[in-house]
Structure 1
């Protein structure tokens, strides 16, 4: 058996729908993107007396794990990645600011149509992490459910995304 060289692999990748679909799901997301997303999630959903924060419900990890699923909307993933990059470019001083200034920056970002769409999608996935079944990686120790006195439904999922049990 001969190993496949890079040139052959690239040629096959360019011509095969199978390899193209693998490439679509195998994005290498820079750590700076995840850092931006995590920080903005925390500004969007900070802890209050009644509610946990994005970090408390493991929102970033939920997003990272679920974004690798073939069921995750690839347009959303592209928006999340590109939006974080645009946010970093426009607001490079964000990480040097205190919480109040970061809130004002996020508020200012929401005035830009593209970043408003990015923030909206970020809120969507952060809330999903807060209220999903913990099997999906968010809602750590059911803290989101407990904060709203949610009574969990039965039966609970035994595996993720329609996997056969």
Structure 2
């Protein structure tokens, strides 16, 4: 039960911080990682420590690719890492899958509401075609404006969805 309380507190604080200042504070994520290590080591011994270690490192390794492609922020990765430290690798992978799905659906709905679906995807497909035809290194470097989607609400929704599925 304490794991769920810590998770809900970290998700609430992270979402509020992200929506307010576009940053997820390190104090929240580091505190959750320490709490995850402590709880799992206390309750499961060395196996709990290993589970927290794997759960906090694997999201960083996997999501680093998305970070370097500027698709996800460092705070989001730290939030996934703290969730993994609390609940382990299986939980964080499933929660991440749900959160990416939720974020994608939200983004698509936002584009549809703004009626910019065709105007958004047409240049994208044109750029892909040009990349394959010219084999240029500077593909996708157009000067269009981008709408930033905050990932933390989707991460929270993905975690809640995963909890509801495991009950």
TM score, norm. by length of structure 2: 0.26
**Which is richer in helix?**
2
TM value normalised by structure 1: 0.26
